[in-house]
Amino acid sequence: MNQFISIWSGRTAKAVRQMLGQEPKRIGAQEPWDSPSKIVGSLHPREGVVNSEDYTPETAKSQSHARRPISATPKASIRWPMLISVGLRRTLPRKVRREMKDALASASFARLFAVLTVVLSIVPSAVPAPPPQPAQCSGITFLWQHVYNPQRLEVKKSCVTVTGVIASSKREPDGDLHIRLKLDSQFEGMLNDGNKANQGGNLVLEPICDHTVTQADAVASCETFHSAIPRYPVGTRVVVTGSEVLDHQHGWMEIHPVVRITQIQ
């Protein structure tokens, strides 16, 4: 078995070197992809046939005695192993392709496998593109830049829309409007124990930068921005869009920041 492996390894390494043009081949060993003109073009110049125009079946027969090993052959283009597909080669950076060619040239199979491992790790996989931002939440990224102390808010959903009736509304020192919304029944699953115990079973809405900020550490958040969301009186039925968050400071669920509030007629 060891002798068989040794013979196989030697022949494989020799075949790789021949593919790379680093080991001379006998003219008689014609590969299936070689044409007669290529064979004639590689004959020794002293034998009389110097180009493909002089080739005929008769001249080839008369020159058959001259087919003997030559010291060197023109370097052919490197033929990649079948294990590397054409599609894969087209996606690889030039530096990686050079590394793979060097690995083949040195006949170092351990190095070749190491290079292949790196290649497979960098070939981009088919990752689906993230869904586009819903049109109703246009501008929400900008609003987050003006949220006071955003670290206290854990985003559950970046964009949600709910309906309900305004139960109360008051101004907060940080410039936000604190609105309690009595949710329609299909949205009541958004409420947690904090909403039920401390907000009368209502969802909290927070339109940001609604009025003058009196809280010192919140002034900077609203210096260059003022909300244009309209204020509606208690009892108004509305549709609300914004980010669904958990306020860890208070322990209840909110829509914060609010993108828009629209009255339902």
Q: In sequence order, which residues have a C-beta less than 8 Å from that of residue 167 and are 6 or more positions away?
A: 180, 181, 182, 200, 202, 234
* pLDDT of amino acid 125: 45
Residue 82 has pLDDT above 60, yes or no: no
Are 70 and 44 a contacting pair, CB within 8 Å?
Answer: yes
pLDDT for 58 beyond 50: yes
Picking from 11, 32, 42, 9, the residue whose alpha carbon sits closest to that of residue 79 is 32
Return the C-alpha torsion angle 50, 54, 60, 64, nearest 10: -20
For residue 19, pLDDT over 60 is answered with: no
pLDDT digits (tens, 9 = 90+) for 90-118: 566 777 677 766 766 665 566 666 666 66
Domain-wise residue ranges, the chain:
138-263
Q: Which CATH architecture has domain 138-263?
A: Beta Barrel (2.40)
pLDDT over 50 at 76, yes or no: no
Can you tell me whether residue 9 is helix, strand or coil?
A: helix
| Position with higher pLDDT, 131 vs 252 | 252
Least confident of 20-29, 31-40, 49-58, 204-213: 31-40
SS3 117: helix
> Using CA atoms, how far apart are residues 138 and 129, in angstroms rounded to an integer?
19
Do 84 and 78 touch, CB atoms closer than 8 A? no
Q: Ranked by mean pLDDT, which of 15-19, 27-31, 106-110 comes out on top?
A: 106-110
Structure confidence by residue, pLDDT tens digits, 223-236: 999 999 999 999 99
**Cβ 18 vs Cβ 31: under 8 Å:** no
Mean of the pLDDT values across residues 200-207? 97
pLDDT: is 223 or 39 the higher one?
A: 223
pLDDT at 94: 73
Confidence (pTM): 0.51
